[in-house]
Amino acid sequence: MIRFIDVHKSYRVDGRDVPALQPFSLEIADGDVFGIIGHSGAGKSTLLRMINLLERPSGGRVEIDGTDMTALDESALRAQRRRIGMIFQHFNLLATQTVAENVAFPMRLAGVRDASAIRTRVDQLLARVGLSEHAGKYPSQLSGGQKQRVGIARALANQPSILLCDEATSALDPQTTASVLELLAEINRELKLTVVLITHEMDVVRRICDRVAVLDAGRIVEQGAVADVFLHPQHPTTRRFVGEALPEETVSAPLPGVRLGGRILRLSFRGESTWTPVLSRVMRETGVDFNLLAGRIDRIKDLPYGQLTLAMEGAGVDTALAALRAGGIEIEEITPGRSASIEDRA
Amino acid sequence: MIAASPLHSLFPNIDDWGELGQACIDTLLMLAGSLSLTVLIGLPLGVLLYLTGKGQLRAMPALYGLTALLVNILRSIPFIILMIVLMPLTYVLVGTKLGIRGAIPPLVIGAAPFFARLVETALREVQAGVIEASQSMGASTWQIVWHVLLPEARAGIVAGITVTAIALVGYTAMGGAIGAGGLGDLAYRYGYLSYKSDYMVVTVVLLVLLVQALQMIGDRLVVRLARR
Ligand SMILES: Nc1ncnc2c1ncn2[C@@H]1O[C@H](COP(=O)(O)OP(=O)(O)OP(=O)(O)O)[C@@H](O)[C@H]1O
Ligand SMILES: [Mg+2]
């Protein structure tokens, strides 16, 4: 468990303290894939780097499994850091060392002398990230995706319990991003390690995170389970991020000349209810007519979900909505111009 | 017998080629001795400058300022003056002010600060991200220097050694004028003071060849070490 307790951080710039993160507390549970999303300069890297104390908090405590990281002396801190792997946007591999030597590096730093043990572990790690044939190459001979795989293998070398990812896929194309994310998810599943990743793409969060915190100008403005945050974003910044991942909200600004009749509603289905024909049954029974304005069916990590924006007309709308809710569907009413939640979260 | 050789007709004033050969050897010995000591002293000094610099791993403004001042003072004194000023110290260190041994202390004291700056510059070329990654793996400062900074900067450091070696060739030639021996000494005594211009030509050619050879070896090594 990673806990931030009343942590804040300022940087000293030209003799003045410039706040980067306002006081906050945050808990990251073991085995979670925890996403931190925010715009450039929001403080994501600062937050992440306080976990392994690459950045020292200006106040408050950072605890890992009950150990106060800020209270450790230098050598104890180095020992703790060996239990925390980290990967970077620009990979940060040693250019003069081969792939195998890069992966062996953390073990050598940790004082492992047994060359054959190191070799066995390196082979095993390279096999896991799918780079066995590239052991003897130098980083400059690899593609970006391959370099990040080396970074991942290196981060796993000392069998850490936490993996920190600082924009690990931001320098990669979409297809490579997908494969690296898949690898991270697999590692999280199989090795049961906690993954904390920062990104500015909601899609990265949607694909592999369990929980997410949204950072805006040094503040955590929203956090929770990804499905909740994704389907019902509250803060404007979160909405913008979700909007980038789901470009559908033309409804809130109707086309000129188009008059939408009835009430505009957003229906969210998750898990089971995605695959049951609740909507058509309720519409048939209540005689409500609807127009489909926008929609999407996809997955949030392993959870199937659907989100439909409809305009409903007819006397039975309220009855229909009640029946839909009873069928496990979450409903928000959107008034043109802005969207508002008309119900408590289920 | 030498008189009959074609060399003699080309360089009529050079009647002792053995002396010239010995001068070559002396120059090479001075170069080898001073270069190895320069690297031995300049490398740690360069690492110190790098580590204690602003915003670096072991930033210590006072120590950095002091070291940098010392380095700059030594670098700004022209070598020939440094050599004369250092003569008493030289005598204490090696028991003579003359010859190869007498030349080495001023050569090293003149070149080490210069080389240290080149090392500092080469180390600064190492990406901050790589250092940060090593810190995140729990590396100590010493491990970062030994396993990250020096290997990653090795091409730059070798380039610095090349530049320093070439500067040292120049210094040894200057040192020749005040009793260090070697090619500079011959050029000065025979070529300049005795107007035997063929001595001048031959020593200049030999020095040019030496510098060329050093540059070539250095460049090759840099290419091999860069491995990118
Ligand atoms: N070493 C530093 N010295 C001074 N200010 C800093 C330092 N590092 C970060 N900052 C400032 O702190 C704020 C947060 O920076 P941080 O790097 O955490 O942002 P980020 O969310 O990771 O941004 P990005 O997406 O661009 O990486 C920024 O305003 C930045 O300018
Ligand atoms: Mg960042």
A276-310 tens-digit pLDDT: 888 888 888 888 888 888 888 888 888 888 888 88
Judgement on whether residues A238 and A267 belong to the same structural domain of the protein = no
- Give the structural domain span for A333: 263-345
| Same-domain status, A240 and A146 | yes
Specify whether A89 is located in the same domain as A149.
Answer: yes
Contact across the interface for A96 and B225, Cβ inside 8 Å: yes
pLDDT of A291: 85
Backbone angles phi, psi at A201, to 5 degrees: -120, 120
Ligand nearest to the CA of A88: 2
Tokens (6 digits) for B31: 């170069």
Which of A210, A185, A163 lies closest to A52, judged by CA? A163
Q: Whose CA is nearest to atom 17 of ligand 1?
A: A45
pLDDT digits (tens, 9 = 90+) for B82-104: 888 999 999 999 988 888 888 99
CB of B76 within 8 Å of a chain A CB? The answer is no
Residue with tokens 């996403």: A35
- Which residues in chain B are contacts of A45 at CB distance < 8 A? none
Average pLDDT estimate for B64-68 = 95
The rounded Å distance from CA A167 to ligand 2 centre is 7
A224 located within any domain: yes
Contact A331, A325 (CB under 8 A): yes
The strand order across the sheet containing A211-216 reads A84-88, A162-166, A194-199, A33-38, A211-216, A219-225
DSSP 8-state class, residue B188: I
For residue A336, the model assigns a pLDDT of 56
CATH number at residue A205: 3.40.50.300
Q: Which of A244, A277, A294 is the last residue of a domain?
A: A244
pLDDT of B209 above 80 = yes
Nearest to A332 by CA among A323, A320, A344: A344
Quote the ipTM score: 0.86
Domain count across chain B: 1
CATH at residue B66:
1.10.3720.10
| Ligand 1 atom with the shortest distance to the CA of A9 | 12
**Does B3 reside within a domain?**
no
Q: Which residues contact B56 (CB under 8 A, 6 or more apart)?
A: B50
Specify the higher pLDDT residue, B208 or A262: B208
Residues in contact with ligand 1 by the CB-under-6-Å rule are: A 11, 13, 20, 38, 40-46, 200
Provide the angle, in degrees to the nearest 10, between the axes of the packed helices A99-109 and A115-128: 120
- Asked if residue A320 and residue A223 are part of one domain, the reply reads no
The partner residues of A40 in beta bridges, in order of sequence, read none
Same domain? A176 vs A275: no
Any domain includes A251: no
| SS3 category, A45 | helix
Same domain, A196 and A280: no
Domain that holds residue B93: 17-227
pLDDT of B53 strictly over 50: yes
Q: How many domains does chain A have?
A: 2
* CA A41 / ligand 2 centre spacing (Å): 7
Atom of ligand 1 nearest to the CA of A43: 18
User: What local confidence, expressed as pLDDT, does residue A345 receive?
Assistant: 36
Q: Which residues of A touch B127 (CB under 8 A)?
A: 90, 92
Domain boundary among A179, A210, A244: A244
**Residue B61: inside a domain, yes or no?**
yes
In a domain, B12, yes or no: no
State the pLDDT at residue B11. Answer: 80
Parts of chain A with a pLDDT under 70: 245-260, 335-346
pLDDT exceeding 70 applies to what percent of chain B? 97
CA distances from B62 to A82, B59, B67 (A): 33, 9, 9
CA-closest residue to ligand 1 atom 3: A11
pLDDT at res. A250: 47
Same domain, yes or no: A234 and A301:
no
Nearest CA in chain B to A87: B133
Angle of helix B17-52 relative to helix B61-76, nearest 10 degrees? 160
Angle, in degrees to the nearest 10, between helices A144-156 and A99-109:
20
Strand order in the sheet with A16-28: A16-28, A2-13, A59-64, A67-68
* Comparison of pLDDT for B10 and B227, the residue scoring more: B10
